[in-house]
C-alpha cells in the first residue's frame, strides 16, 4: 500500500469480502456504524484484518475516534506511509 487510494481500495475489499457490505455503499464519507452497520465486534475484526495486511501493530486507542471510512484510511496511512 503506497497511497491513500491503495489503502482505500484494500479497505473496501475487506468491507465487501469480510463484512458483506455492498461496494456501492462504501465511500470515504460513509460512517462505519450508521451507514455500513458495523458494530463494535466488527470494528475489532476490522482492526485485526488491517493489522494482518499492514504487519503493523494498530493501537485500539487510535481507532476509538474513527467514525468514517476516511478516518480508517487516515489512521492506516499514518502506520504505513
Predicted local confidence at residue 9, as pLDDT? 96
Q: The C-alpha cell of 46 is what? A: 476490522
Spans of the chain below 50 pLDDT: none
Q: Of 2, 35, 42, give the one whose Cα is nearest residue 18.
A: 42
**Start-end of H helices in 20-66:** 40-54, 60-64
Predicted local confidence at residue 69, as pLDDT? 97
- Residue 66 · residue 72 · CB < 8 Å: yes
Predicted local confidence at residue 73, as pLDDT? 95
- Residue 77 · residue 4 · CB < 8 Å: yes
Predicted local confidence at residue 2, as pLDDT? 82
Predicted local confidence at residue 64, as pLDDT? 81
Give the whole-angstrom CA distance, residue 16 versus residue 68.
16
Predicted local confidence at residue 63, as pLDDT? 79
Amino acid at each position: 500500500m503506497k497511497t491513500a487510494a491503495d489503502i482505500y481500495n484494500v479497505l473496501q475489499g475487506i468491507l465487501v469480502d469480510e463484512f458483506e457490505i455492498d461496494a456501492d455503499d462504501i465511500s470515504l464519507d460513509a460512517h462505519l456504524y450508521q451507514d455500513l452497520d458495523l458494530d463494535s465486534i466488527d470494528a475489532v475484526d476490522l482492526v485485526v484484518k488491517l493489522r494482518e495486511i499492514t504487519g503493523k501493530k494498530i493501537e485500539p486507542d487510535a481507532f476509538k475516534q474513527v467514525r468514517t471510512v476516511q478516518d480508517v484510511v487516515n489512521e492506516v496511512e499514518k502506520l504505513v506511509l
